[in-house]
Amino acid sequence: MDYLNILEEVIERPEALAAAEAPAELGRAGLAGYALGTLGIFTFLRLQSAVPPGVMSFLMVLFFVLAGNLLLAAITHLFMDLTDARGSAARLFLAFGYTDYFFTLLVPAGFFVRLGYLGAFFSCCLCLAIVLYARIGLVRKLYPVSANKAALSVGVPYAGFFTLGMFAFVYGLAWLIWLLI
Amino acid sequence: MEENLNNNQVPQQPEPEKAAPPAVPVPVPAHSQTKLWLRAVAVLYALSMFAAFAVISKSDAARKLKPNEMDISKLTGLMQSKKDAVGVIPLYGVITQGNSSRSWEGGSQQIAKRIKLMAEKKDVKAILLDINTPGGSVGAVQEIYSAILRAKRETKKPFVARFGEVSASGGYYVAAACDVIYAQPGTITGSIGVIFSVSNFEGLMKKVGMKNETIKSGKFKDIGSPVRDMTAEEHKLLQGLIDDSYAQFVTAVAEGRQMPLEKVKTLADGRIYSGGQALKEGLIDKLGDLQDALDAAGELGKIGKNPRVVTTSDPLENLMSLMDSKLQLFGSKAVSEAMEIEPRLEYRWYGR
C-alpha cells in the first residue's frame, strides 16, 4: 500500500473521503495520520522534556489523541446531525486522522523552540490552527454545509473544552487562594 | 540534373511513412507535483525525526550525568526518600466534642481521627501539632491526648507541639503528650487546672415571673442547675470532681514532661506563663517559630531540616467550613453559642 498515493488522492480529491464506497486503504491511511501526528506531538514534547521516554509514554499520548479525536468527531457529528446535515461519523473520524498529519510540523518546530526562535505555546497554537483549518475544509466535503457552519461545528467542542478548562482553572485558583488565607 | 528531374517524370519516391505525432512536451500533471511535494515532505520529516531522536538521546544522556555534578550537600537530600515528610495537624480554637455531622468544625473526634490517619501514613516520619487554643472540655481534651499516646505507642513516631498565640490549659494538656514543645517567647501558656462554672438565673427568673419545677430521683440529680443556688453539699461534691480532674491533668504533665509531681503541683495553680517563663520552669523545651518546630520534627523523624510538609486539609471539609463561616456572619453562631448554657467541666483558660 502506497500511503503517498492515497495522500495525494485525498489532497487532490478530498471528496473521495465521502465516496459511497471508500477503500480500506483510505481508512488505514487516516489511522496512520493519527499515529504519525502523535509521533510528531510526542517528539515535540520529548524535545521540551515534557513527557517521559519510552513506548508506554508514547502509547499514552496516542491513547489521548485517539480518545480526544473520537470525542471531537462525535460532538461535531452530533452537532451536524442535530442541524439536519447528514454524513458519516466514522469518515469524519478518519478525516480528522488525515488532518493530524499536520502535527508532524511540530518536529521541526521543536528545534526552533529549543533554539529560542519560537515559543512552544506559539508553535502548538500555530499547528493547531493549521489542523483546524484543514478540518473545517474536510468537514465541508463530508457534510453539505456552508463554511461558517463547518467552522462552527469544528470550533464548538474546542470552545466547550476551553471554557471547561478555564472554569476549572479559575475554581482551582480560588480554592488555592482560599486555602492560603 | 535538377532540370531533368523537373522535366522528366518525377521520380518515384517511396511513400513517406505515416508521420509520427509531433513530440509535444507533455505537461506534468498536478498529481505528480503533489506527489513530489509529498515525497519531499516525507524525506524532510524522516530527517527531522532522526535529528530529533539524536537531540533527545543526547539531552537524556546529559541529564543522566547531572547527579554526578551535584555538590555533596545535596547528596544527603538524595539519600532520603522524596516522600518522607512531617505531618502537620492544626489544633485551633476551643476544644470541644463537636457535632459528628459537622466534621469541618474540627471537634475532638475529628482531631483524634486525623492524628490516627496521619500517624498511619508511611511517608510521615514525624507529626507536628500546631496548637493555638485556650483549651476546652475535659473529655474532648483527653480524647486528643489519648489519641496522641496511642499513635506514639503503635507507630513510635515522634510528636512535636508548637504553640502559637495561646496554648493554655487543655492546649497544654494535649502538648504534654508530645516529645518536644516549642513556643514563642510571648506565647500564653500554662493555666494548668480545671474549671467548672454554672450560671444562676434564679434572680432573673424571679424578676420576669418565671418559675421552674424540678422532680428528681436523687438529691444530686439537678446538680449544677442554673435555676437555683448551689448547696454546700453539691459544692463539696463538685470540688471532689474537680480535684480528680486536676489530679489527672497534673499526672499527665508530670509524665509527659518527666517532672516530679510535686513540682508540677507548684506550677499548676492555674496561673498563666509566657513562653519565656514556661521555658525557665521546664514546661516547654525550646523557644522558636513554626519553622523551628518543623526542623525539629524533621530531625526527630530522621529526615533532616526543612522537611516536606503534609497537612490534613480536606477540600470538601474546607468548603463546608467556608460556607459555615459565612453563615456565622449572619449571627447563627452567636445564637447557637448563647443557647449552650449548660455547665461544663473544662480544662480552659477564660482570659481569651
For B236, residues 6+ apart whose C-beta sits below 8 A from its C-beta are none
| pLDDT the model gives residue B319 | 67
Give the distance from residue B184's alpha carbon to the nearest chain A alpha carbon, in angstroms: 22
CB distance from B220 to chain A under 8 Å? no
| B199 catalytically annotated | no
> CA-to-CA distance for B22 and B17, rounded, in angstroms?
14
Q: Most confidently modeled of A118-122, B14-18, B23-27, B241-245?
A: B241-245
| pLDDT the model gives residue B45 | 86
| B35 catalytically annotated | no
| B38, B39, B323, best to mutate vs chain A, most A CBs in 10 Å | B38
Q: Which chain A residue has the Cα nearest residue B317?
A: A179
Average pLDDT score over chain A: 87
Q: What is the 8-class DSSP label of residue B95?
A: B
- Name the residue among B30, B31, B322 with its Cβ closest to that of A178: B322
Q: Most confidently modeled of A111-125, B15-29, B139-153?
A: B139-153
Average the pLDDT over B107-126 and give the result.
90
CB distance from A4 to chain B under 8 Å? yes
Tell me the percentage of chain B whose pLDDT exceeds 90. 41
> CA-to-CA distance for B320 and B204, rounded, in angstroms?
39
Contact A4 B313 (CB under 8 A): no
The ipTM of this complex is 0.74
Measuring CA to CA, how many Å separate B185 from each of A5, A131, B163, B291?
82, 65, 10, 15
* Cell numbers representing residue A144 in the block: 453539505
| pLDDT the model gives residue B73 | 47
Q: Where are the beta strands (DSSP E) in chain B?
A: 85-92, 124-133, 135-137, 159-168, 180-183, 188-190, 195-197, 272-274, 286-287, 308-311, 344-348
Q: Which is higher by pLDDT, B316 or B115?
A: B115
